Structure formats: structure tokens, C-alpha cells
Amino acid sequence: MPKSGGAQPGGPLTCPFNPNHQPAARWDPDFPYNHAKLGLPGKGKGGYKVPADGDTAHAFMPPTDKDIRGPCPGLNALANHNFIARDGITDYNELLDALQNVYNVGYDLANFLAFYAIYVAGLGDPVTKKLSIGCDATTRTSWSPIITGSEPGLNGHSKMEIDASLTRNDFFAAGGDNFSFNTTLFKMFEQSTSGLFDVDRISKYRHERWHQCQAENPQFYFPILGLFQYGAASFLYELWPNGNEGYVPNLHNTATFFGAHRLPDGNYLRVPERIPSNWVNRENPYFLLDIASEIFKMYTKNPVGFGGNAGGEFIGINHPPYINDGALNANTTAQDVTCLLYQILSRPVPSTLNGIITPLVEATEALLISLFGVEYNNLGCPLALT
């Protein structure tokens, strides 16, 4: 039976299981897209239709009750089009290829996102490089479940999806369900933005959601990782708009990616996420520096606090030199946000991963320097911080 979209419960005992795992469709020279394959850099040239005419391997197919879907609509859409495995168990190289070929995400940002999810946040397995895009599928992602313990997938709390989400509930306010798509929240999102999802209106709605959740959720917690939410929100106007419609972040494309079908009464029905018909992706790659700039822009338009509720009041956290008493310092720049992302990426990890994280960070640094100059030496961080 097809699922209506959204995510499933987080525990391994309730996580859907598809015994017939099939990797994503292999790269086909007849439909090269960005020429990204085997986890290597693509050409970084977008502006093409996805899926291409005649590319039946990437035709939309709704998930079955054996397939995993999670809190990220962009990844759910990739799975529903077989750019990553349809059962929702993907791996590092699949993610790099799909993000480049479909969304024209820059190779540095694609690596950052995949590396953080699998290696730093511990949502996937660093040996098999596998990741569930939703619930805990440790028996299928881990090289040794007894040794690794739980690998919770993207549903893992306060790892990728945290409080004050655009369209998901807070973890403690919804009995642990911070991954299912909430159509009521999407309707609020549409009303707040008047159906135009640009940086100004999304910033306004992010501010509204923060205050709503902080007031209603006694266990509300908004860590520095909240910056990721601003980055993910930028996908709505940077990655999802259709070149055939002038790259306007309109309601139709946004609702299609989110899996929201508008009913005549103005409410929404949850349906499987998909790539809109006749969709043309962005022309230029979306790099790590680009997302850092958009995070900075979106946050500073309507700043909120970093911290959490405790004893009936909000307590701010500190992360010198950029965040004090829960507030981003007034002199913080977009370059500083890049440094914060770097610090998140390079926070303490097992020594066995040093051979992986060091080349990745060095490659990201080299790319930023080549594109934007020596001010991005050390990824924009003062040497004393690293």
C-alpha cells in the first residue's frame, strides 16, 4: 500500500523493513545531469530538467509501507524518484551524487551535509557509510549493531531536526514525534508568507515558530545547531524554485516538495513528496559559503535566542566569541558563520575518523580559498579557535 508521505516512528522495532534493498538507479550517460557519480565531483552546471524526459529510472513512485521516509522533504523526494534508494537506506556516495545531480548542491556542501549526518551526529554508520533517512534501521546500516549501538537515522532528536521546525512538532511536545509532516503547521507557514517563500518571509516565520515553541514547550531547546534549520530553510528559495517559472519560490513548488496537497477549503492533505513536473534546477552550484551567507542573512533579519527553557524561563547559552547569553554578537559576519559550521563539523570525533575528517576539512578550505580568497584560510576561523 502506498504511504501518504511523511515519516515513520523512530524505534527499530517499528521502523519499516524492506527485505529487497536496491541501491539508487545507476548513473546513465544518456541522462548525465551534473555528471556526478561514485561520490566524485560533478560539473557544477545546472539549469536542466529533472527528471529528464525519457528517464524512466527516476520516475516518481510513492513509498510503500516497507519504505522509510523521514523529516527532510528534499531527501524524501530524492527517494521517491530513485536518486537515492527507494527504501530509504542510503549511503555517503548516493547522497553526494543525488544532491549534485538533482539540486546542484556544491560538492563542498554535499560533503558537509553527508559527513555531519553520518560521522559527526552519529545518525548513520562510519564504516558502512549507510544512513536511514528516517527511523532507526541499525540492523541495516551498522557493520555490527552490538558494537555500534543505535544509529537512529535522521529522526534522531537534536541531531538534524530540532525544536522550532518549520513544519514538524517539537520532540517533547509531540510525544517524541519531531519528524512527521504537520499540515497545520504548513498552512500556518503559507499564511505567514502569503505563499511566497523568500528569505524575508521565511525569516519572519522562523521567528514566529521560535516564539510559539518557546512559549508552548516547557522543554524547549534551541542549540547552536539551530543554525542548520536556517540553512535548510534556505533550500526553499535557493534549491527548490523552478527555472521554468523564473526561479520564483512559489507555493506550488514548495508544497510539492513538502508533500502538501491543498484542499478546496484551504487545508492541506499530506501526500508523498516529489519533484514538481517540468522542473528545472538551479544554474549555479550552492556552495558552503552560500549557505553560510543565507544563514547569516535569514537569522539577522529576525534574531532569536540560543538556549532552552529551564524552571519556567529561557536560559541562553554561550559559544565565545560569537554567541553570548544566547545571542549572536552584533559584529558577527557571514564569514564567522562559516567558522561556526566548521566548528560543528570538527567537534570531537573518535580518533579513528581523523583520516576522514582532516582531508574533508582541508578540501573544503582549499575550495573556499580558490573561490573567495585567502580570508577563508582556516575556513574563516581565527587560528586560536581551532
- Cβ pair 294, 238 in contact under 8 A: yes
The confidence score (pLDDT) of residue 121 equals 85
Provide the 3-class DSSP secondary structure of residue 175: coil
Provide the 3-class DSSP secondary structure of residue 64: strand
Q: How confident is the model at residue 359 (pLDDT cuts 50, 70, 90)?
A: low
Judge whether residue 356 has pLDDT over 70: no
Judge whether residue 354 has pLDDT over 60: no
Alpha helices in 48-198 (DSSP H): 73-80, 92-103, 107-115, 138-141, 145-148, 183-193
Judge whether residue 278 has pLDDT over 60: yes
The confidence score (pLDDT) of residue 3 equals 42
CA distances from 294 to 34, 200, 235 (A): 24, 11, 10
Judge whether residue 6 has pLDDT over 80: no
The confidence score (pLDDT) of residue 29 equals 98
The confidence score (pLDDT) of residue 64 equals 97
- Cβ pair 65, 16 in contact under 8 A: yes
- Please give the share of the chain, as a percent, with pLDDT higher than 70: 86
Provide the 3-class DSSP secondary structure of residue 28: strand
> What's the gap between Cα 69 and its chain centre?
13
The confidence score (pLDDT) of residue 379 equals 58
- Return the axis-axis angle of helices 199-216 and 226-238, rounded to nearest 10°: 150
The confidence score (pLDDT) of residue 341 equals 81
Spatial CB neighbours of 153, under 8 Å, sequence gap ≥ 6: 10, 15, 68, 70, 123, 124, 131, 132, 133, 134, 135, 136, 137, 141
Q: How is domain 162-172+180-347 classified at the architecture level of CATH? A: Orthogonal Bundle (1.10)
Judge whether residue 346 has pLDDT over 50: yes
* Least confident among 4-18, 167-181, 245-259, 268-282: 4-18
Span 316-327, pLDDT tens digits? 999 888 899 999
Q: How confident is the model at residue 367 (pLDDT cuts 50, 70, 90)?
A: low
Judge whether residue 288 has pLDDT over 60: yes
Q: How confident is the model at residue 357 (pLDDT cuts 50, 70, 90)?
A: very low
Cβ burial of 300 (10 Å; 0-12, 13-18, 19+) is middle
Residue holding cell 544512513? 131
| Mean pLDDT to the nearest integer, 139-165 | 89
Higher model confidence: residue 69 or residue 367?
69
Spatial CB neighbours of 48, under 8 Å, sequence gap ≥ 6: 33, 280, 281
Take residue 25 and report the three cell numbers written for it: 538507479
Q: Which of 83, 85, 94 is nearest to 51 (CA)?
A: 83
CA distances from 286 to 246, 331, 375 (A): 17, 25, 20
State the span(s) of the chain assigned CATH 1.10.489.10: 162-172+180-347
Judge whether residue 378 has pLDDT over 70: no
The confidence score (pLDDT) of residue 240 equals 98
| Mean pLDDT to the nearest integer, 44-58 | 98
Residue type, 154: L
Take residue 283 and report the three cell numbers written for it: 544554474
The confidence score (pLDDT) of residue 375 equals 54
Q: How confident is the model at residue 12 (pLDDT cuts 50, 70, 90)?
A: low
Take residue 307 and report the three cell numbers written for it: 538556549
Take residue 237 and report the three cell numbers written for it: 528559495
pLDDT, averaged across the chain: 89
| Mean pLDDT to the nearest integer, 184-211 | 98
pTM for the model: 0.90
Take residue 160 and report the three cell numbers written for it: 538534524
Spatial CB neighbours of 61, under 8 Å, sequence gap ≥ 6: 80, 81, 82, 86
Q: How confident is the model at residue 385 (pLDDT cuts 50, 70, 90)?
A: very low
The confidence score (pLDDT) of residue 2 equals 39
Span 90-103, pLDDT tens digits? 999 999 999 999 99
Judge whether residue 365 has pLDDT over 50: yes
Strand segments, DSSP code E, in the chain are 89-91, 130-132, 221-222, 260-262, 268-270, 307-310, 313-316, 323-324, 327-328
| Mean pLDDT to the nearest integer, 341-365 | 57
Residue type, 85: A
Residue 303, Cβ neighbours under 10 Å: how many? 14
Provide the 3-class DSSP secondary structure of residue 112: helix
Provide the 3-class DSSP secondary structure of residue 66: coil
Take residue 369 and report the three cell numbers written for it: 580559498
The confidence score (pLDDT) of residue 72 equals 96
